[in-house]
Amino acid sequence: MTDRYAVFGHPIVQSKSPLIHGLFAQATAQTLEYTAIEAPVDGFAAVLNQFRAAGGLGANVTMPFKLQAFELATDPADSARLAGAANALKFEGDRIWAENFDGVGLVNDLQLNLGRALAGKRVLICGAGGATRGAILPIAQQKPALLAVANRTAATAHQLANDFSGHARLQTGGYEALAGECFDVIINATSTGLSHNTLPLPFGVFAPGALAYEMVYGKGLTPFLKQAQAAGVQQVADGVGMLVEQAAEAFAWWRGVRPDTAPVIKQLTVPLV
């Protein structure tokens, strides 16, 4: 029987995961089936259990089910536990192993694909939601000179400093607290990439030679990236590389072989115009 994997979400029709994992399987000579499954908003656990009972070996999980996936796990990794969310599951008997590969996917894209080593650099993450929670630990492990989190509601950012104490040292606060500071890498982990809204970033926040990184992918120049360009930033990027890199981590976790990501990133990249 063919090994089965799937991505779960609601909606799920927009997911690139079946294409990505299909390309990975072809490139690594792995025989598997990977499908997209749209679960009811109030029925994720039941649909996931049906998939397991039918022989499913692993799953990716996207919105809005990442929190539920973590809660269902019997064996969550630190990446999932600290984020409070899981985006990859592996099934072994009665056990459900959970990982959150979003952060390591981001770090791999920044360092391997975009040439931005994070060690000794000043890094700012905009937003304090789930995407940021998944990114903090992998970025902190690279030993940046400073890792800051800014959010419209400062208290939400401050809570992250408490939640990650002992794992990462964070500078947290509202955007107004960034006045007079500059950063080498600024990451937008908010939902503004899906809207026409801009971030209240103070003048001078982008250091000379900075990279502006938008986690949203395939949307061209988002308001954040336009802000960065207006501030003189030459290197801007969206999250397509993060998407592919986190998928590669899951694929390697399931199959024991890590695919080359460069051809897939090239195929999925939308010009930033």
Is 100 buried (19+), middle (13-18) or exposed (0-12) by CB count in 10 A? buried
Query: Shortest CA distance to 8 belongs to which of 68, 53, 54?
Result: 68
- CA 33 → CA 5, 51, 118, 195, distances in Å? 6, 13, 36, 35
- CA 264 → CA 37, 59, 164, distances in Å? 22, 20, 33
**Would you give the distance in Å from CA 228 to the centre of its chain?**
21
Phi, psi of 181 (to 5 degrees): -110, 155
E-strand stretches of 200-246: 206-214, 235-237
Query: Shortest CA distance to 145 belongs to which of 201, 178, 184?
Result: 184
- For residue 121, indicate whether it is catalytic: no
Tell me which of 16, 66, 90, 121 is the catalytic residue. Answer: 66
Catalytic (active-site) positions: 66
